[in-house]
Amino acid sequence: MHYQVRGLPGSVTRASFNGRRVDYWAPEGGSDRLLLAHDGQNIFDKKSATRGTTWELAQHAIAISQEFNVRPPLVIGVFHSGSSEDPFGRAKDLAPQHPFQNGVTPILGRSGFWQREQPSFPLDEIRSDRYLAEIVDQVIPTIAKYTNSQIDPRKSAMLGSSMGGLATLYGVNKYPQYFQTALSFSPHWIIGENPLVESLLTPLTPIKISRLWMSRGTKGHDKNYGPFQDYADKIALANGWRSGVNFLHKVYPRTGHNEKSWRSYLSEALRFWLHP
């Protein structure tokens, strides 16, 4: 299936990988850059977007690429598998699997899927390892081939927000040979607090990947992230990241936990990634 998006040349393609929906756009002739986004339902199509608002990710990527005179990236949005049959599918796809199955205790009452006295689903049902493997083994090579793209991992970034922000940090840790930049918006630290911060930031060094971005707002869920993000910054700096050089943590006052807010400062994250 192909569909048009206002402000975007060519068309967006919707594909299915073993039942998982994936939307993507590529510049004519392909690209050597890749921008892979979680929660793909919010990337291109307003009809599938959670709140009827998209990131306009490809439009922003094109504009910043032109600013730096580089080729626009192949943009891929991977949908989560939440559905009426599996209402916690998104959490199972995006929650960092190894930390939660190996000692990090979910903080009950601090998230949309662990609200009661017990987790809403068994922790052994988390499947983010399989989800990420599907992305790197099937989704990326198939789409790259179809769009005549020759992806350079040094020019590839993973992007996500909230649970997708956690999945981004976890994903680049697992697959630095595919992604050298992490763009993590409003990582949802409150579901695991400092033990989750430690599990994701301690192994993430500038030797493993080249650029690290984290951001948050001050409203909604984001207002609770401050102390945990400060701890993440402390670990990042101790690991050798250089603030303002290859690492940025940005706070955006009066923004919240939604696509409109993340879109409002998306260009800054893309400049951080695409700046030569």
39: exposed, middle or buried (C-beta count within 10 Å: 0-12, 13-18, 19+)? Answer: buried
Indicate the residue type of 81.
Answer: S
Q: What is the pLDDT of residue 276?
A: 85
Distinct helix (H) and strand (E) counts, the chain: 10, 9
d(Cα 180, Cα 167) in Å, to the nearest integer? Answer: 15
Q: What is the pLDDT of residue 110?
A: 53
- Nearest C-alpha neighbor of 91 from the set 54, 38, 48, 49: 38
Q: What is the pLDDT of residue 52?
A: 87
Domains of the chain: 2-274 (3.40.50.1820)
Q: How far, in Å, are 58, 118, 196, 199, 206 from residue 103 at the CA level?
A: 38, 16, 9, 10, 26
d(Cα 148, Cα 220) in Å, to the nearest integer? Answer: 42
Q: What is the pLDDT of residue 116?
A: 46
Contact status, residue 273 vs residue 154, Cβ threshold 8 Å = no
Return the axis-axis angle of helices 226-238 and 193-201, rounded to nearest 10°. 30
Q: Which helix (H) or strand (E) is 170 found in, with range?
A: helix 163-174
Q: What is the pLDDT of residue 5?
A: 94
How do strand 74-78 and strand 247-252 relate by DSSP bridges?
unpaired
pLDDT tens series, the chain, 276 aa: 999 999 999 999 999 999 999 999 999 999 999 999 999 999 999 999 888 899 999 999 999 999 999 999 999 999 999 888 888 899 999 999 999 999 998 886 555 544 445 567 889 999 999 999 999 999 999 999 999 999 999 999 999 999 999 999 999 999 999 999 999 999 999 999 999 999 999 999 999 999 999 999 999 999 999 999 999 999 999 999 999 999 999 999 999 999 999 999 999 999 999 998
